Structure 1
Amino acid sequence: MSQSELQVWVQTKDQDGTVSRSETITFDTAVIRKPPPPKITSSYHEPMEIHWTSACDQLMHELGPCNVRHRSEAQPAWIEQDEGGVSGSFTLDSPEPCINYLFQVQCACDTSLMSEWSEIYTIQSAERAPIGTLNVWRDCGMLPKRSECVLAWKKLPMTKACGQIIGYNLRLYFDNGTHAAFNEPVESSVLVCSEAQCYYNSSLKTVKSFSIDTYNALGVSQPSHLDIQAQEKILKEEDIYLEMNENNLTVSWNITTRIPDIKEYVVQYKEAGSSLGQGLDWIRLNTSVTKVTIKGQFKKFTAYQVSVFTVLEHNKVQFYCTDVTHFVQGKPAKVPLFKVQSCGTTHVTLLWETVMMSVQNGVTPYYQVGYGKDNVFTVKNVSAHPQLEKRTIKLDDLNENQNYEVWINAVNQAGPGPTTTVLFRTQSSENIGANVKNILFVIFGGLGLVALLCALFCCWDNKACSAVLPSLYDKVPDPHNSNIIRELKTQINDSLAWLRKPEVEKISLSEIEIIKTSSLAFIPQTDKIMNEDGDDPLKDVLTEEHKNTHCGCGKQEYSKMVDSDEDRNEEDETGQSSWSSEEDNAGYEQHFMPTDLDLQEIEERERTEKRLRTNVLSVL
């Protein structure tokens, strides 16, 4: 019954029948009350003080004694301190800076039982400039050395941040000796942050090293420095040993050679196939440690590449060793590409793309390649190392002019993956000979065509080419000055000449001398100037010039011809005969026949053309 006295004791009896009885306790049932926990309502940073309220007033009771306990965020154990009276507040003396403190309170009402502990109330100690440096690293993908990398760093814990982090100062040092500084707030578009770490999502292809610090409202941390590229070491997979389960990754490595000036080890693990800056974590260790167990939630069927680096003096990074591990392995994916690269009579070279690590579902030590005919296959194992994007294999001892089927798959501890198949037929010797002839014909035909085009180009504006390329020149008969026509004219005027030279009957116009003049000679070397109407202003001038000048030589044209005795008599009356003058007799030859200087000029051009053709052919 409520608010009544009760007597309580405990009695025991053993196997011999002996009875034992405790003392009797008398108490009022009204004290069997447990009020709800109090609520912390306000606090102060300096001094660090909390205030709370209780439900005793609502229960129509006075506030009884209260207990307070506290601890820092990094400490597991609570520190309890009694707080008598009804003050409803507590002050923590001399709190450490940059630390979060947790508080809980429990109270009783009058003589009732103590309540449960209140909810945890957190107070941050006084803010100050950040302490220490950022834990920085660089992510260069699955390879230890790569031109594309991103900067990554772990966020400062509250004990070092000493307040709310506002941004980061970044300094980049380039290969050419220059540097650049950037201030990036935490909301910057180039910063990608998770709960524990951030990375700088910008290309650092030409960056040699970097430094970075962080700041809050009261100050800036010390900068961290690191080189981007790692100095490569010969890869030895036997130097590293990995064990992985769902919650732990154990990494150990051998120190086969002494590394001078080493400051620390960095163990990095990264999910295969993840983008730069993502799926990455690392831990720093002192030089006395060669084995570490990393706790975390690791995914099934996911490849993790684990690498060990050494950080030397001056923050230079050196790659040490690497390997790939899985928590649980599954069968690898299908080879994405498999094709014939080249094929002969008794051999074939095949090319395939390796399975990406993100879909290998395990460690792939080798590939299986099977080939044959009539359902009889030969299987070869091809090592998956080194890890290249594309691989080739050559199959020999094949039969000529035969059909073959070849398949390939990746293999790991869970078994072989799906096969990818390619069909081909080996060549015959006859087809190869014919193909060689066709190839040679095409090669030499192409060389001849190129040589011809080069010769045409070289000879286009050359007068000497008229002898080499007659098809480009017009045939211009000049009957006015031909000796044949003159002789024929003389014979016509002299009736007795027909009796003296009966062979003249055989003369025909087909024997008329031909003068070759390049049609290109009519084109001036300078660009043609056209007026607004499209007419050529030089046309009339060139036409008039052509009436008086032979296009090929630029000399006065000899169109004079004696057609009758009357013309001859007119010349005789002047005392000069067109046939008797030695200068006139030689005029035709002087006008159209080349002089010694012309011959030398032609010979020089022919020698130049010969040298050009020889040089062109030698280059081809």
Structure 2
Amino acid sequence: MAWQNVKVHFVIVLYVWICSQASCEVVLNCWWNQAIPVGRNVSVVCHMSTLARANSCGLCQLNVITQGHRHQFPSTCASTKETFNFSIATEDREQIHCMCNGSTADTCNITVRGGYPPSPPSRPDCAIEDLEVEDIYCSWTKSNEPMIPTVYTLHWKDYDGNVKSRESSSESAVINRAEYMKSTYTTAWVTAKNVLGSAQSENSVFDTGHIKRPDPPYNINLTSAPLEFIWDMDCDRMGPLDKSCQVQYHENNHMDWIEVDDCQVMFVLEDPQPFTQYRFRVRCHCGHEEKVMSYWSSVYSVRTPPAAPVGQLDVWSDCAPNSDKSSCKVYWKEMPLSQARGEIISYVVMLKLENGTQVTRQQRDTECLHPAEQSCLQLRCFPLKPGVMGVFVSANTSMGTSNPTFMPFAVRGQTTPEVNLSVMGENQTLLVSWAVHQQFSESVLEYVVQHVSVVPHSCLNWVRVNRAQRSVTLKGDLRNHTAYNVSLFAVFNNHSTFLKSVIAYTLEGVPPKVPQIHVKNISHSSATLIWSPIPVNESKGVILHYLVGIKETGSKISSDRTSALLSELQPAQQYQVWVSAVSAAGEGVRSFTTFSTNEKDRDVKTILFAVFIPLLMFLVLVWVFTLVCKTTRCCVKIPDPINSKTFKHMNFQHAWPRLCSPSELTLKISELEIVENLDPNTPTPPSETESEKFLIDVEPQHFQVPDGLGRTNEGGDEPEESNRGNISKPDSWAKEYSEMVDTDEEKDDGDDEAWWDQQCVSDYERHFLPSVKAN
């Protein structure tokens, strides 16, 4: 017995080990209900199925991993299908993973998406299509699109209360002849179910003996005047009045069918629109017991006869800013068929000129439009020339001409009141509202809200609004992520006035990359980042601001700026800077560029202040020093008698402030040359050494400087050579010296002796002037 227990435990352990080593593939689909308003948490439903390999997946456990949590399916994944519900945070609904058997070696494929629970299907329509087979075909229609796999099931209950069902992936199912009893009442209904919910249709009760589907009506005849729809219907053993038919019709430009019940063999449409295309179809059932409708007949169409046009054209103008009527184009929309009531042959444009004359023109095509505007099929235009005062436009058909429409031109330079214009964008819709002073609105006939895309040559469109309204919804061919210029005009009796305009988007998107980004004015600690603004027609939304950064965090820059200063940078460092645009939809793609700062000692300004300015100062000093030295050397080389005490009584009117006395330029100094005395009685002059000693040992003499020195030489009878070397006789030398000095004044002979007898000799005279002392 113990051995048997050991074997059993061994087999279990071996089985568990084999199953743990087995590999399995799990397919997991998870959905969340998009019909429930998004809150803090969302309920997720996961449906699991396995594809076993190696005959069995064993005790493989499935774990659904979410943000910070792990959810385990309650049972094993061995060839089973399970549905598991759990709640997670809304922001984590797309971050779901799975793991099979606690090992990443096993394959776990997961798909996560949103969906809707089904809405109740329509009541099933059941009929016998083929009398030989007599199977009952039941069909129904969906009320919504769940976007996830949904199973439809047809249920029916016979007169005994037995309920049977049949699943279908489509919108129809078949009850076989063997599954119902003929000529008995049967109740049928349809249920729809998916992982997010279920719904049931209304019941359909019918007699299985009277559900034969008849053939559709035939021999259909349609006339336009009057508008009659006639047909035939075959019903066995039934009179023509026992039939009950349904008629559906619609105008060619309206796709929704209008249904009329309780018709027998014909239908007459009262008051049809002239020159309008109508489409008809019909189906019937035979008698009171045969409640099964036939299939719809083919669709037949007819156009009613034309008539004279009614109403007026919708005319507007588009002028260049700050211009006159000569640069305007008059636009009008095609007249609707309900007003034209016939084919429009041409449009008549009547022009009233300044000279009082009227000119009529006919416009048949769209030649006025730009090629890019040819797709604006509802627009016609007429270019104006100078001298036009008024424009009237009307439509011309084969049945007549519409009443002319006056074009109220916009008046330029007119004072307008303050207007608050607001435009809110939604998906392909613009909600426009405004507020105007009440006193101004009393004289307004109507408002015109004009909108046009900022893309060049886009279709111009406008809407007329009653003066009591303060809002309008713009629809039509409006594209998302596209900028529109919305303008508000006020229309008066004979003119219109522009009030205000704004740029708006139906649905904003994330802006594109900022173009043409570069860096300039780079120094060792700062730089300037410059970029080009994103054009309005490419921005996909209103640019709220720009983000500029070097690392992950960016700084906000106003949307009207295109540059930013990068400061507090390090010298000789490489930086990667980025810029991006931000709209209401979020931040756009970042544009990057790389630059390097300069080294600190290579700053150009530092070089200028540290090198150039001291060098300039040095050159200035050298120039001043050179000038001073040059002047000084000039003064030293020429002995100036003015520096002698001999001339201390002279009139120095032209001395200082010059460094060198101006007297050097005016005084004329005669050259004094001492020569040997030719008189034989004169002793031989001493040697050079003795002369030097004699000059050095001479005691200073005191002289008195006369008032002036004469220029004339009274002793001019003797030649110059006779005076050379005549230094032995003081009286003679002094006289000759005084005679050699130029002066403008008369000199007195008696003064020479007094001048020589003075015993005061200055250092200047001792150095430059000869001094002889008699022995």
TM-score by length of 2: 0.40
Name which one, 1 or 2, has greater alpha-carbon Rg: 2
More helix by share: 1
Greater relative contact order structure (CA < 8 Å, 6+ sep): 1
